[in-house]
Every structure is written in structure tokens, then in C-alpha cells.
A and B are shown apart, each in its own frame.
Chain A
């Protein structure tokens, strides 16, 4: 007999959630990794703002910024950031058909169409930014 048991009032067992719950399953770990990529996205956004601020502070500041960006360690780090942000973008875009279901009359647009639409839009935006940066 459990002395803690009160007649007709059994204590329900509640399992506690371990801190490293996400290590238990591959899909959970992948999920956490995906979520952590948002840190890298935030970093990229901040980097952009810093760049603009440097431009605003005059030529010397801007050149200094460019020199810093060109150092091998920073280049390597930023390549890593680029790869992670690409991973973030691709996993994000791949989920688009789940969230957007388009119906034309009686028929549903196939998921691949929604997906291609998103990748297409990404390609167009990249092309425009590339043209602005490289050719102008």
C-alpha cells in the first residue's frame, strides 16, 4: 500500500521534460538546428545595418569596414553564415506548399507549382539585387 494514496484520489504521474529533450530524436535535433539558424539570419541583418552605418559615417569608416570584411577569418566566417542562411531559406521555402494551398476553380494547384513559384520569386529577387550590386 502506498501511504501517499488517498482513497479515490490517486495521484496522477506527470513525467518531467528533460532539458535535452531535443537530443532524444533525430527529427527533434534537426528542428532545433533549423531554429538556431535564425540567429545567423539575425546576424546577417545586423551586418547589413552596420555596413550602411559605416557608409553613412564617411569614406574612411567605409574603407575600414571593407578591409575588415576582407580579412580571411571574417571571409571564412561569412561563408559559413551564407551557407547557414541558405539552409534556412531552403528549408523555409520548402515548407511553403504546406502553408499555401491555392485553388483555381475546382482544382487545387499542385504543391510543386507553389514551390516553384516561391523559388522563382527568390531567383528574381536575387537577380535584381545582383544587377544592382554588380552592374551598377
Chain B
């Protein structure tokens, strides 16, 4: 095992330069270090001006997504060991404009998330005093996988469509819409259909499948999107052939 490893880190300092550069740092190598530990070492000991996001360091908050050797990963769950011998290239996620160093702006995703109405929609709300909506463990399993999304945006970074068609709603937003569509307590599938079945909704997806490949939580957004394509098409023909039934 080596004593040190080199990190080539993307830097962007808009107040000093118009174009990004790469800075090279040599950090100590430890078998238990993640990329995040190396970045923290750089910031604490070598160059305090390196800007990046991190919080939980246990793969649940979704802050620390970056490209390591071109692949979108969570830096807090990726061992340096897996990227040896180095140099390891660290860049911000693709598809998002870079504000500074390794920090990208995710405002586009935040807007798209809100647009798919990711909340429980009901025709009639039951009063809290009457207790919980019943949901069997099997019904919970129907949507549970899609509820695991930590909004880390690795899927957006992996999706070439999102880079080519910036209006594409994107994998995580559709997966979260499906999380509610498939929730037995939800009655809002029709409301979400408008935005999802647009050209930039699910039909923007051509099933590259990279989103599912990189998802650290096994959400399988590609699966969510294809399932919705099938159910949206079926619903469309149903609405043509059968009179509208009120939900």
C-alpha cells in the first residue's frame, strides 16, 4: 500500500479566473479513508480555500456527490483504495452549472421536484383523530424502493439526456413522482400525469440506464420511468376507450 496518493481536483474561482483549472494535492493514504477524508485533509492542512459540500459522511444526506475519475459517486462512501493507484481526478457533478470548485447549483432539480407534486394527494383527508390510513406491508413494498432517494443527483450527472436536453425532468424527480403514484394512500396520479407525460417528462427518457447504474441507494429510477411509460400509455388508451371514471 502506498504512503500517499495524488488527487487532481477541479478548481473554479470565478473572482480570479474565467476558466477552471486543476490543482494537484498529495494526501496521506489510509486504508479506511474515503475520498471525503482526503478532501477534508486538503482543506484542513493544505489549502483552506477548497470549497465542497458535505454533512453526514454516512451516505444519507446526499450532499457530497462528485465525479471521481469521471464516475459520479458519493465521496463519503467511496474508498481511496478503490481508485488506486491514482492520480485520482475529482470534479463536480456534470449537468449542473458550477458555482465554485466542486459546488454545483441544483436549483433546476429543486424546481422540477416541486413540479411533480411529490406529496400525498387525496380527494378527502381523514381527520387525524381517526388514526392512520391503513397500508399493508405488501402495499408499502410497492413504493418503498422509490422512497429511498436521497436527492444526491448522481443520476442527473450520469444521464446524457439531461445534459443534451436541459428541460428534461430527470430520473430522481420521476422516481419520486412514482413513489407517490404507487403509494396506496395517494390519489393524485391523474394530477401528476400532466407534467410527467409531456415531451420533457418521461418521454424524454430513452432508457440509457446509467441513472440506475450509479444510484447509491438502489432506487432504480430507470425502472420507475419505464414502468410509468407503460402505465401512462395504458391509462391514456383506457381514457380514450372508456368513459372517465371519477376516482
User: Which residues of A are interface residues toward B (Cβ below 8 A)?
Assistant: 1-2, 4-5, 10-15, 17, 21-22, 24-25, 27-28, 31, 35, 95, 98-101, 103, 106-108
Contact = CB atoms under 8 A, between A and B. Distances in A.
A106 B136 contact: yes
Contact of A28 (B13, B160, B207): B160
A12 B138 contact: no
A108 B182 CA distance: 14
Contact of B18 (A2, A24, A108): A2
A133 to B, nearest CB: 31
Contacts, number: 75
Contacts of A15: 94, 98
Contacts of A13: 12, 14, 19-20, 97-98
Contacts of B223: 98-99
Most A CB within 10 A of own CB, among B210, B222, B226: B226
B99 interface: yes
Given A17-B163, A28-B160, A5 B227 contact: no
13 contacts: A2-B15, A5-B16, A11-B14, A12-B14, A12-B97, A12-B98, A13-B12, A14-B98, A21-B160, A27-B208, A35-B206, A95-B207, A99-B226
Nearest to B16: A2
Given A5-B16, A100-B230, A106-B138, 11 more contacts: A2-B15, A5-B14, A11-B14, A11-B18, A17-B163, A21-B160, A21-B163, A27-B210, A99-B226, A99-B230, A107-B138
A21 B193 CA distance: 32
B185 interface: no
Nearest to B230: A99
Contact of B100 (A2, A10, A35, A101): A10
A99 B142 contact: no
A35 B223 CA distance: 18
A98 B208 CA distance: 13
A88 B234 CA distance: 24
Given A2-B18, A95-B207, A101 B227 contact: yes
Interface residues of B, number: 36
Interface of B: 12-20, 70, 94, 97-100, 105, 136, 138, 141-142, 160, 163-164, 206-210, 213, 220, 222-223, 226-227, 229-230
Contact of A24 (B14, B70, B209, B230): B70
A5 B17 CA distance: 9
A10 B14 contact: yes
A19 to B, nearest CB: 11
Contacts of B13: 2
B226 A31 contact: no
Contacts of B70: 24-25
Nearest to B206: A35
A103 B143 CA distance: 13
A95 B12 CA distance: 40
Contacts of A12: 14, 97-99, 105
A28 B136 CA distance: 40
Nearest to B182: A101
A24 B163 CA distance: 14
B229 A99 contact: yes
B14 A95 contact: no
B184 to A, nearest CB: 12
A28 B208 contact: yes
B48 to A, nearest CB: 19
